[in-house]
């Protein structure tokens, strides 16, 4: 993410009282920004600005709903990370909530909204804006991919779960990026091979075809991953050393369906702290 905190914001943050810093973001009291709102949970112990996972909910969900994913939230908090959970707008104003990621869809500029969320969270909750992972599940995972494709430098690292691209896929993406994509081997909602939905109006793309787009964006010199290893329940494939300096691409498969798997929070934090903190401008 580009530097978004001016000296004015930094000065204001130093003058804030703890009561003001926690005045919004609870399940019953969202934090508002110009084009939307978000919820947030902070780690119990913090020494200075804290890193965060900005987690985008799935189709029909909400930021408050993300905070009900207690296993994931508590695991991230235990590692010293805040969980920032923004809420998508309603489709067509009255429909289910979903992110505006597909080219041609009308609606909010989601990148601009998410940047505003991080800026607001940095000011109100002492979030370190330079250590924010953009993640999301299902429709939120699709949003992560499209945002990274269009603006790879918006966040230092990306961690979509169960979401890639829709067909027709982008011809190319800007890059390079650092991404850890997690997907269930038996996911039937977003199958690895993709699926047709909406009466044929939409088609989820093949996850492996999407990875090829990211290998090209990262200027990888081949298709074969340099690492193929087991890590607990996760089967992990890595493309890094034969790719652009500072880039990183990984696929982590797990033996389950359409969900955020147990152990994901620790895996993504370990990955981010090893591979996602050396920032680059994009």
Flag whether pLDDT at 75 surpasses 90: yes
Characterize 187-215 residue by residue with b for buried, 16 or more Cβ atoms within 10 angstroms of its Cβ, and e for exposed.
bebbbbebeeeeeeeeebbbbeebbebbb
Flag whether pLDDT at 20 surpasses 50: no
- CB within 8 A of 29, min separation 6: which ones? 23
Q: Residue 32 belongs to what H/E stretch?
A: strand 31-33
Report the alpha-carbon distance of residue 137 to residue 139 in Å, rounded: 6
Report the alpha-carbon distance of residue 82 to residue 42 in Å, rounded: 4
In the DSSP assignment, the letter for residue 18 is H
* For residues 102-108, average pLDDT: 90
CB 57 within 8 A of CB 63: yes
For the chain, give percent helix, strand, coil, nearest 5.
Answer: 30, 25, 45
pTM for the complete prediction? 0.90
Q: Which CATH architecture has domain 22-276?
A: 3-Layer(aba) Sandwich (3.40)
Domain parsing of the chain, residue ranges: 22-276
Which band of pLDDT confidence, cut at 50, 70 and 90, is reported for residue 277? low
Least confident of 12-16, 95-99, 136-140: 12-16
The whole-chain average pLDDT of the chain stands at 90
pLDDT of residue 27: 83
């Amino acid at each position: 993410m580009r530097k978004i905190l001016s000296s004015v914001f930094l000065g204001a943050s130093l003058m804030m009282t703890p009561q003001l810093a926690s005045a919004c973001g609870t399940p019953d009291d969202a934090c508002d920004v110009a084009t939307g709102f978000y919820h947030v949970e902070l780690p119990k112990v913090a020494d200075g600005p804290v890193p965060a996972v900005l987690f985008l909910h799935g189709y029909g969900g909400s930021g408050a709903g993300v905070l009900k994913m207690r296993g994931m939230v508590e695991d991230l908090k235990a590692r010293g990370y805040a969980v920032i959970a923004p809420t998508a707008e309603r489709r067509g104003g009255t429909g289910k909530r979903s992110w505006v990621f597909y080219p041609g869809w009308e609606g909010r500029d989601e990148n601009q909204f998410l940047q505003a969320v991080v800026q607001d969270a940095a000011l109100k909750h002492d979030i370190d804006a330079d250590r924010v992972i953009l993640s999301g599940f299902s429709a939120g995972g699709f949003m992560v991919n499209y945002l990274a494709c269009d603006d790879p430098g918006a966040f230092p690292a990306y961690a979509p779960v169960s979401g890639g691209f829709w067909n027709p896929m982008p011809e190319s993406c800007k890059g390079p990026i650092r991404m850890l994509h997690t997907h269930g081997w038996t996911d039937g909602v977003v199958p690895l091979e993709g699926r047709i939905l909406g009466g044929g109006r939409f088609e989820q793309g093949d996850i492996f075809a999407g990875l090829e787009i990211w290998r090209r964006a990262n200027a990888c010199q081949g298709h074969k991953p340099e690492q193929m290893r087991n890590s607990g329940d996760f089967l992990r494939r890595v493309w890094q050393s034969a790719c652009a300096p500072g880039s990183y691409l990984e696929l982590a498969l797990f033996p389950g369906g359409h969900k955020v798997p147990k152990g994901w929070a620790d895996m993504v934090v370990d990955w981010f702290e090893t591979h996602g903190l050396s920032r680059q401008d994009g």
